[in-house]
Amino acid sequence: MTMIHIEQFLLKPYRFPLARPFVVGGQALSIREGLIVEIVGRDGNRGLGEAAPLPGVSTEELKKAAHQLKCLEREWVGRTLPVSCEALCARLQKDLDRSVLAPSVIFALESALVSLAAGMQGVSVAEFLGDGPPKVVRSACLIQGDLEVVRAYGAKYSADGFSIFKLKVGNRNIPLDVLKVRALKEMIGFDDRIRLDANAAWSLEEAVAFACAIGKEQIDFIEEPCSGQNDHEKFFRRTDMPWAVEAHSSVRPLSDWEGIQGLKAVVIKPMLSGGINGFLSVKDIAYRLGAQVVVSSLFETSVGFRMLANCAALTDTCCGLGTADWFGSPAAGIMQKGGLIPPVNLIA
């Protein structure tokens, strides 16, 4: 039986400027730093993964992720692993201590080994993890900024063929966010949809006021509208506007959301949610809840971005990989006009 024999475990740091700043946690992010993990098998096959904690969002710093990966390098060189999907995922679930290792480290190592195994079988990661040939992946675009930025990028992305637009809201100046939504509605087609992300910035009353002011027409859902997660269902009852929750930020197990009203989607960021195994587990739970699964990015390079696109190919929902536009040609080159990622671009 073919096995993975780890011969080399290489760490390659990177530091890239973003095409334009992005505000995270109240601070403007203009530089992205991280580590590329390259695992080389005895036969010369290679797999790539990425560890890139996002300042202000990730629980770990890059320094901690780098230290843990260097320790794993010493531990994992020389190991032998199964190459089949089920056996490899089970082995990684068993061998990686998720109570100790940072989420970005798990994402990097699992990505590298899964992509290595997929390459040994001559298939994409989506084919390796799934039960059929991959399909075209469709992504929403991402808009953040003042009113003029919303107008400009709404027009740009609409002309580029996007049909789903994600807009960052959650401003203390709620009337300004209302104006942004109205402006975006004017820029896009009548059949296009808007996803809103409030980042749990508002109280229940503030979120309800915002929703009533914009109306639910063309709104796909609003991500984490209220600061209190137990208020999301109350928000839906008062507004009839569907909402979404981020898997990594849920303060209660996702399985506890069963039967709750208004939950339309679970947003999964594998860099934050426990890697490939974490993604597969959350996906299954979300489907049991009757919710859509939205794979979302965290300003990854083309290495992490391609892995996320493969994960998104295992879902039936437009994903959220709009951060590619901030990263320039390598990541953005995987995505074609209108946010489409063809199956051929799922393989490096």
- Side-chain half-sphere exposure of 221, counting CA atoms within 13 A: 25
Domain assignment of residue 129, yes or no: no
In whole angstroms, what is the distance from residue 142 CA to residue 33 CA? 21
Are 105 and 69 in contact by the 8 Å Cβ rule? The answer is yes
Give the start-end residues of each E strand in 134-229.
137-138, 141-143, 164-168, 193-197, 219-223
11 occurs within a structural domain: yes
Catalytic residue, from 166, 185, 269, 283: name it. 269
Q: What are phi and psi of 27, to 5 degrees?
A: -120, 145
Those residues whose C-beta lies under 8 Å from the C-beta of residue 94, and which sit 6 or more positions away, are none
Q: 123, 156, 179: which is the final residue of a domain?
A: 123
Among 123, 146, 175, identify where a domain stops.
123
The one catalytic residue among 166, 168, 185, 264: 168
C-alpha 282/C-alpha 249 separation (Å) is 13
What total of structural domains would you count in the chain?
2
Instruction: Locate the DSSP E strands across 116-235.
Output: 137-138, 141-143, 164-168, 193-197, 219-223
Nearest to 246 by CA among 273, 219, 227, 221: 273
- 156 is an active site residue: no
- Tell me, yes or no, if 168 is annotated catalytic: yes
Same domain, 53 and 191: no
User: Does 26 fall in a domain?
Assistant: yes
User: Both tokens of residue 296?
Assistant: 């979302």
* Domain final residue pick, 89, 123, 157: 123
Residue 307 to residue 92: CA distance in whole angstroms: 17
Residues 184 and 306 in one domain: yes
Task: State which H helix or E strand residue 51 sits in.
Answer: strand 46-51
- 318 in the same domain as 187: yes
Same domain, 107 and 173: no
pLDDT tens for the 348 residues of the chain, in order: 589 999 999 999 999 999 899 998 788 999 999 999 999 999 899 999 999 999 989 999 999 999 999 999 999 999 999 999 999 999 999 999 999 999 999 999 999 999 999 999 999 999 999 978 888 999 999 999 999 999 999 999 999 999 999 999 999 999 999 999 999 999 999 999 999 999 999 999 999 999 999 999 999 999 999 999 899 999 999 999 999 999 988 777 888 888 899 999 999 999 998 899 999 999 999 999 999 999 999 999 999 999 999 999 999 999 999 998 887 655 667 899 999 999 999 998
Same structural domain for residues 93 and 155? Answer: no
Same domain, 278 and 213: yes
Global confidence as pTM: 0.95
